[in-house]
Structure 1
């Protein structure tokens, strides 16, 4: 897969073991290979999980590394069958604290001394990374070696050298393992550091502006292992140049990139670890490696929305291995994909929401419903959610379950409860200077737009700020050739990437900018509402959609229901489709149900514009969107306006909505808008000319979905503060298109 430019929605799905010299690959392959190694039926599976938040001055503390450890532990125990006793935690809150000596001793004692040939070994590190001078560097490494930074980094001998654990040492530790089934995951990076907008980065800048040097203690440790392994320095260097020592290596950023420590809904986590583990929770079982059925485009955008920083994948497998030719899973019996897993059973249930996308977590609060399932996917009972704290959910059993409910029982989404009064969270960037307070005051007059402080402690959807010289340099580093003028006010992503078409004239006040941006803010709010119903990876409807350039092959995406109905006949997925401006598109939607479904197609542009592509026959009957069982509907229809990709470069998100009943109120709202504007039939419509119309249409859509849910469930299944979205009645599949000029 080609690299994604910095200015686009960016793929937080990579890894960086730059210290060992890795090559870049697609996250799908990373996740699949990781799953394949973990799922092997072996005598023992061992894991060492290291997470460090508690760095001391002058090293900035982090916030999400302990969550990373929780994410990995829940995944390994519940999805891949690790015995909890075989997982050793080395964290700020564990019995073993993450000092340099303790990390190395844990690797030696827990992994090297215990692992036997054929066993599975996982080593995960979340914390700061850095680089030090390499006395025998690899080609193209700039003479540096990537490191893991322990809390006791500072040398006490006054030399200024650092006690980091070098990539050279990690290579030797991996080489010492007796098994080949090794997976190393590093959620850290080696470039820059600090904060940007509402996110932090897991890297340290060079001390004193120069390159750091490792202590003699570190080189002595490497010499000890060279002796134990009977490796000469020449042989050691030869092995390093070939690739990794054992198994599979994953990480989070290339040498010159940043790994984010990002705020989500009530918790912080490493963007890479959260994305990787969620992908593996929802990855279908018993599929060959190249058949990928998880909607990674949406997963990528989940994290990109929280940061907007380039973070590309790097991975390598053991030289000479054939891991990418083998099946993804070897577990027998296979376990189904799931959104959650029970942690504490009883009439009151506690559960882990590791398989839920970050952008929809707000819809998993009070009123959401889950099915409890066994390892074959059979329904055992139902849980009604009552609360959520970060990734931990709380609920109560409904009725009498048909089987035993215990810790480790999987939970699948049935109904999510979208908050009726969901707001757009707008961070007020410090670049506004003394206009922050006046901006906050003006925003109070705009319904459902909430002013937030930018402090890396909470989630913001977008930032309001003023372009300055630092942001200008950053925009150019993203590849933006025509950035906004310095001194102009507009909207940024949470990672301070300028939003196209949102900046005004130089000298405009913050108050005037907000009044100018009122319709745009409501468009962005509507897009946020629409994101809450994206459920392709959890919907039970059997729906397939294909986005095809005219005369080309295109990309196919499917709902979970379709995946499980015909797992061997479905095509492989590509995460993002790259298209040039001027490309004409057709959208094909196939109904694999034995009942009618109704289709709509919407597009969200990189600037927040929301366009209704279909239906566009504003005077037609509601059954114009109907697709009969087994049939395929292709739009646009003959004689209608063509779908043509427009520049500039950026990302478009094309959403296909398939429902079991027509979305009557939403359609009526669209028809009213079309009549008021005089939009002729067959022409797609851009919403947002009127400040509130976009939000009103999305509100009508949620009302339709809620009514559908209540009719199906027979009683109020969500609270009066939420709108129900039933996975048996709706599939919303997100398709990402990268426009490349």
Structure 2
């Protein structure tokens, strides 16, 4: 899609950056700009954080907005050096409730009245967004990436807790026009507005909840702004000496000043993520943004992208199917390029931070930088390294338990004086559950066959049937579901009345549906191998840590990779590939020692294909010498790696200082049966895939024990023993 011009941002203030499946190359640039602005060494850094979960009757309440505020607070204080006294929090549980007046009052008294030229200002809003009639609309919208006339004269809004008025057609929303005036009134240009809301229609779809209130009333008409809101705008226009014509012209040109980041396009959704079987919720966008900023390396230069998120493992993207494209705006547009805006965070990258040390020695820490899948790692046995301000290890904490994003542990190495509020942590040893399960939900479309499907799924080992927090959903394709997914231009859509697997956003999983008329029990039997393959992929990501790092490299090991068309000399991965393209994977060892290399392809349907080393290779063939590069497959190998179909495919490169012998032997055993005498890669699915991943786990566990790590966990993997570089490539029709 064409780049979003800055003039289009705040006309729909409720439309914000990206949630579940961000257009991640844009997201990376936006997150970097945000990091660079808030990390400046300025006289003062001010923040106003707003989260609204509880809404009045008629407006669906949310669950994750208060978590968003907490995530931003911890990030600003412990990574970017904000003084807690300079952060004002407005939530349902705070002293200041998220009413319209409180939000506007605090924006003025805390931000406008206090910020001086050169100060840094952050405004974050998590809650519902909507659209209402704008008496003075700007003329354009963006729908599906195209600029179209604003024929309905709408303006995006932030929905406060007290939205409703005595009139059903009038609401107390905070309009994008008002937010423009507030940002314009700031005396500093170093302002960042972050809005985790949308206005594409609220409610639920599948297992996801969206942050939007419908712009339509029961009458079919759009709501009107309150007279209080319009008077608020008139007062600020007078104070700022802005005529209606001048304000109109400024709004057409762009945002008022600074940087504005949003979580969804006009026609997209901003979803909430859920963890721990529906016990912990947060905004998907805020979670991804703050997690990225925790992990962003402080050694990257200005103008470089820390991570190409479009091509890295985004566990929420894979699990949800709700694709949202980032919105970013800057005024002036050169803001994001100025050196003073591109300063590193004041503390090194981390995955957690100490929040409290209790009298008995129990340590409480905030897990703001870990991935969703990492939360499924075994609570006990995880070892965290304490990091000083130079990034050096000064001790170890063994985790004893976890609730949401709060972990609890005890000091097992180092001096107790080093464990203080604000000390950063990095995951050192990961505990692996003995019996990791794949969570599968049942959709209401199953009808009278729901109980039959439930019983059939329950009989499969390591498959857990859940009511919430499903990773995949078993359901029946209906006419309404088909209409919902048609705009996504998915090839080979399932036929109505066929059974198969959906992602949580009710997008059908490729190649899991067959003809109509199948029974639920037959469908489960047919899908059993696919479910086990998906479980194998989940376990693979967990044990390699490829889910954990937005940098693509789970240990920051100096290894570079690229996926490119066969014969290409490019050193970077293109944003997309045409179906049918022959590709090669390039891996370079920038370390001073030999590395053992493995390359694995993971299809969206769960199929695992180890591409390198070949199953009949000697162990020495997997060694990559320092400052050397391998390219696989080669012409002499007798096969090609051809991309088939459309959608996403993940390429996982593993790099280790120690060999992974058992996994290679296991692959040879499979190949001896399925491909005797051949040298081409072996596709492994179902129990074979799961068995191979468990053999890989055995290799890594043995290597971990070999470095004399002390942990109470039964199965553990040292993060330092393996780098996992994940690249997601998008395949489109040729």
Using the size of structure 2 for normalisation, the TM-score is 0.92
Find the counterpart in structure 2 of residue 412 from structure 1.
426
Which has the higher mean CA deviation after the structures are superposed, 508-517 or 639-648? 639-648
Secondary structure at the aligned position of 2:575 is classed as strand
Find the counterpart in structure 1 of residue 549 from structure 2.
none
Separation (CA, whole Å) in 2 of partners of 1:444 and 1:277: 37
Residue in structure 2 matching 1:369, options 372, 383, 394: 383
Is residue 578 from structure 1 mapped to residue 588 from structure 2 by the alignment? no
Separation (CA, whole Å) in 1 of partners of 2:192 and 2:211: 21
Separation (CA, whole Å) in 1 of partners of 2:458 and 2:16: 50
Which has the higher mean CA deviation after the structures are superposed, 187-196 or 590-599? 590-599
Using the size of structure 1 for normalisation, the TM-score is 0.91
Matching of residues 46-195 of structure 1 within 5 Å: 46-141=46-141, 142=150, 143-156=153-166, 158-195=167-204
2:200 touches 2:267 (CA, 8 Å); kept in 1?
Answer: yes
Is residue 344 from structure 1 mapped to residue 360 from structure 2 by the alignment? no
Q: CA deviation at 1:216?
A: 1.4
Residue in structure 2 matching 1:326, options 323, 331, 339: 339
2:601 touches 2:649 (CA, 8 Å); kept in 1?
Answer: yes
Q: CA deviation at 1:99?
A: 0.8
The superposition leaves residues 532-571 of structure 1 with CA deviations (integer Å, 9 ceiling, x where unpaired) of: 1234444153322222222435455xxxxxxxxxxxxxxx
Separation (CA, whole Å) in 2 of partners of 1:198 and 1:22: 21
Residue in structure 2 matching 1:550, options 559, 566, 581: 566
Separation (CA, whole Å) in 1 of partners of 2:240 and 2:555: 52
Separation (CA, whole Å) in 2 of partners of 1:701 and 1:522: 16
Separation (CA, whole Å) in 1 of partners of 2:159 and 2:295: 32
Unpaired runs of at least 5, structure 2: 18-22, 142-149, 547-551
1:665 touches 1:704 (CA, 8 Å); kept in 2?
Answer: yes
Separation (CA, whole Å) in 1 of partners of 2:563 and 2:633: 12
Residue in structure 2 matching 1:666, options 647, 663, 676: 663
Relative distance call for 1:620 and 1:302 in structure 2 (3 A) is closer
Q: CA deviation at 1:300?
A: 6.2
Q: How many residues align?
A: 701
Residue in structure 2 matching 1:390, options 362, 382, 404: 404
Find the counterpart in structure 2 of residue 561 from structure 1.
none
Relative distance call for 1:244 and 1:646 in structure 2 (3 A) is same
Separation (CA, whole Å) in 2 of partners of 1:361 and 1:585: 34
Find the counterpart in structure 2 of residue 26 from structure 1.
26
Relative distance call for 1:2 and 1:591 in structure 2 (3 A) is farther
Matching of residues 609-648 of structure 1 within 5 Å: 609-616=607-614, 618-648=615-645
Find the counterpart in structure 1 of residue 144 from structure 2.
none
Q: CA deviation at 1:512?
A: 0.7
2:9 touches 2:254 (CA, 8 Å); kept in 1?
Answer: no
Is residue 199 from structure 1 mapped to residue 213 from structure 2 by the alignment? no
1:555 touches 1:577 (CA, 8 Å); kept in 2?
Answer: no
Which has the higher mean CA deviation after the structures are superposed, 544-553 or 15-24? 15-24
The superposition leaves residues 408-443 of structure 1 with CA deviations (integer Å, 9 ceiling, x where unpaired) of: 111112111121211010111111112111111111
Find the counterpart in structure 1 of residue 300 from structure 2.
287
2:335 touches 2:341 (CA, 8 Å); kept in 1?
Answer: no
1:297 touches 1:734 (CA, 8 Å); kept in 2?
Answer: no
Unpaired runs of at least 5, structure 1: 5-14, 557-573
Matching of residues 209-608 of structure 1 within 5 Å: 209-265=220-276, 266-294=279-307, 296-297=309-310, 301-319=314-332, 321-326=334-339, 329-330=342-343, 334-345=346-357, 347-363=361-377, 365-401=379-415, 404-453=418-467, 458-532=468-542, 533-535=544-546, 536-554=552-570, 556=572, 577-608=575-606
1:22 touches 1:243 (CA, 8 Å); kept in 2?
Answer: no
Secondary structure at the aligned position of 1:419 is classed as coil
Relative distance call for 1:383 and 1:130 in structure 2 (3 A) is same
Relative distance call for 1:599 and 1:22 in structure 2 (3 A) is closer
Which has the higher mean CA deviation after the structures are superposed, 592-601 or 418-427? 592-601
Separation (CA, whole Å) in 2 of partners of 1:132 and 1:495: 27
Separation (CA, whole Å) in 2 of partners of 1:130 and 1:437: 38
1:591 touches 1:628 (CA, 8 Å); kept in 2?
Answer: yes
1:250 touches 1:315 (CA, 8 Å); kept in 2?
Answer: yes
